[in-house]
Amino acid sequence: MDENDGVRAQSRCVSREEQEENELSTDLSNLSVGMAETKRMDYLRWDDYFMAVALLSAMRSKDPSSQVGACIVNASKKVVGIGYNGMPSGCSDDDLPWNKESSDPLQNKYMYGMCIVTEMVIGIVA
C-alpha cells in the first residue's frame, strides 16, 4: 500500500462528510424558506368550521330518531354556545321515554325534550 493511498482515502472520507453536511444544511435552509414564504391555503372557512362543530355536537345526542347539533356564534366569530337535542339538563336519559308517538302523552319524548336553542340559551345565561 502506497502512502498516497491512505491520504486519498482520508480525503475521500472528509469530502463525503463535508458533502453530507452541505446537503443537510441545504435541506434545512430550503425547509425554513419554504415555511416562511406563504401561509397554508387549504384551511377551513369559518362557516365550514362552525358547521363541523354543530355536526360534532349532534353526535352527542342520544335520541334514536334524530340527532341535531347547533353552534351559536357572535359577530366576532367566537363560539358563544354549542348544544344538541336531548332531555333537559339534570334529567336522566334513562328515566324518560324516547318514543316519537304514543297514545299516552307522558310516554312521548316531545313532552320532556327541550328545544335545542332554549337549552343553549339557558347554558349561555347560566
Q: Same domain, yes or no, for 1 and 58?
A: no
For 21-80, how does the pLDDT look when each residue is reduced to its tens digit (9 = 90+)? 656 555 555 555 555 688 889 999 999 999 999 999 999 998 888 898 999 999 999 999
What pLDDT does residue 78 have?
A: 95
Domain containing 81 equals 46-125
pTM of the model: 0.60
**pLDDT over 80 (residue 116):** no
Q: What's the total number of domains in the chain?
A: 2
Each residue of 82-101: pLDDT tens digit? 888 888 778 888 888 888 88
Residues 35 and 58 in one domain: no
Within 8 A by CB and 6+ apart from 92, the residues are none
Give, for 84, the enclosing helix (H) or strand (E). Answer: strand 79-84
